Structure 1
Amino acid sequence: MQPDDIDWNIINILRESHQNNNSLARELGISEGTVRQRIKKLKEVGILKIRASINPDVLENQQLATIAINIGESSQLEAKAKEIAQLPGVLNVSITSGRYDLFVELLTFSNKGLVKFLTQELSTIQGITSTESFLMLKSYNRYV
């Protein structure tokens, strides 16, 4: 399934702010039932996920980090990405081109949380040959 114009309108409005189905319907000039069914379908097929996002820069003891990872065997990229994605605090894992095989986005508590993640969580994944960590010191318009 690919979203049509109405689906994209719903998605774009929800990306900007939370609105109930009635508000969406009024804004788009369609029925509340249509909005409800379209959101349900978008969620079922994995296009849309509705969740609360936080700004880690304004919360105490929250550290956003990116960890670049290389995997020993390229045939294991997808399996390792899925395995890492299940670890606590992992927001996203991307298979990448270039110098690194994977980028892991992590939200943890302070620098101690990053050390714990690297030494107690990520170290359990077999096949990782190297990592490089990047701490996000300040982000703009970044909600996770």
Structure 2
Amino acid sequence: MNQMATDTALPDISLDDADAGIIAQLRADGRAPYRGMAKELGLTEATVRSRIKRLEESNVLRVVAVTDIDAAGYGLLLSIGVQVDGRSPEDVARDLAALPAVFSVNVVVGAQDIEVLVCARDAQDLYALTSEVLARVPGVARLTPALAVDVLKNQPDWVPFNTNTGNSFFAAGPDAGGSALDAVDRAIVLQLSHDARTSNRQIAAELGVAEGTVRTRIRRLETEGHIRLTAVTNIERFGDASLAYIFVEVSRSDRTQAVAKAMADIPELGFVGVMLGRSDVLGITMVRNTEHLADFIHRRISAIDGVRRTDSTLGVNFIKHDYRMARIVA
């Protein structure tokens, strides 16, 4: 996958056990205190602070707020394969990336030319998005959608940092209809989406509200599952890595949930959803190359009881990925 110019000057980096332990702590709680992490890992507080700073400055780690798409008023999540005709997939992908409802765009190889993830507020919004917006992008020949009806796993741990996250999540404005977040909530979340370790005092000063208000609202948003404060790591900083989309057809429809649960238990899969349309189940994972993908499918996916066949696409160029958005799963 391509890197930005700012990344190419950075040396390759490897994580030691201390780095891995710190990242694991921050994935569990993006606001974990330095002192608590140091005690848990057997390190000094100064070591924890310096290592987090090094990982951030090396463009390896970001600690952010991930917001649940349902809480933001988007009731529908779709994976859409895009076949292109008459234009380069990269050019079409950039046009798709400019659309606020599209939060992930990846040029791929396989049966499709582009894979996108989109969200919609309701069926009417979805129809307008697919038929009047996506389908009319020059070069889009065919859309093959799949609606996520049950997301069993969604862990945005390894993501590309070299893409434009844009402002898609908040494009509808602070009082978007159907959102469980009011204007103050959304302003707080926007601050946390840049750096989840920003202090309550700093956020309060920025927004002109009381520090206690910020503290109470963050606690409520986390408790109610509207946001998750977590660490994300940059797949671009660890050599060749690509996202693979694995579409699974089950042997019998009554086996769909069992297959999805078995896939969710596979650590390498970051996303698992029961789908309606293009496939019965979708799994997303990170692989090194096509050989790695084939081996993973044959050994881990096809071996699951109830899997009839699989289809897959392999990402070659991420154009956009807004890791601030996800379906938060308890």
Question: After TM superposition, is the score higher than 0.5?
Answer: yes
Work out the CA distance in 2 between the residues paired with 1:54 and 1:103.
Answer: 22
Bigger helix fraction: 1
Mapping 1:88-103, distance limit 5 Å: 88-103=267-282
Instruction: Provide structure 1 residue ranges, at least 5 long, that are not aligned to the other structure.
Output: none
Instruction: Provide structure 2 residue ranges, at least 5 long, that are not aligned to the other structure.
Output: 1-70, 72-179, 324-330
Partner of 1:14: 192
The answer as to 2:220 corresponding to 1:47 is no
Alpha-carbon distance change, 143 to 9 in structure 1, aligned in 2, over 3 angstroms: closer
- The CA deviation string for residues 99-118 of structure 1, in whole angstroms up to 9 with x for no partner, is 31122111234444323421
Bigger strand fraction: 2
Partner of 2:286: 107
Work out the CA distance in 2 between the residues paired with 1:33 and 1:142.
Answer: 33
The answer as to 2:276 corresponding to 1:83 is no
Alpha-carbon distance change, 22 to 116 in structure 1, aligned in 2, over 3 angstroms: farther
Partner of 2:242: 63
CA contact (8 A) 1:56 1:64 kept: no
Deviation at 1:29, TM superposition (A): 1.8
- Larger Cα-atom Rg: 2
CA RMSD of aligned residues (A): 2.5
Q: Percent identity?
A: 29
Secondary structure of the 1:103 match is: strand
- The CA deviation string for residues 46-93 of structure 1, in whole angstroms up to 9 with x for no partner, is 221122223434541322111111122333433432331221221112
Alpha-carbon distance change, 86 to 6 in structure 1, aligned in 2, over 3 angstroms: farther
CA contact (8 A) 1:65 1:105 kept: yes
Give the count of matched residue pairs.
143
CA contact (8 A) 1:80 1:125 kept: yes
CA contact (8 A) 1:81 1:94 kept: yes
When normalised by structure 1's length, the TM-score is: 0.80
- The CA deviation string for residues 100-143 of structure 1, in whole angstroms up to 9 with x for no partner, is 11221112344443234213322342111111111000002336
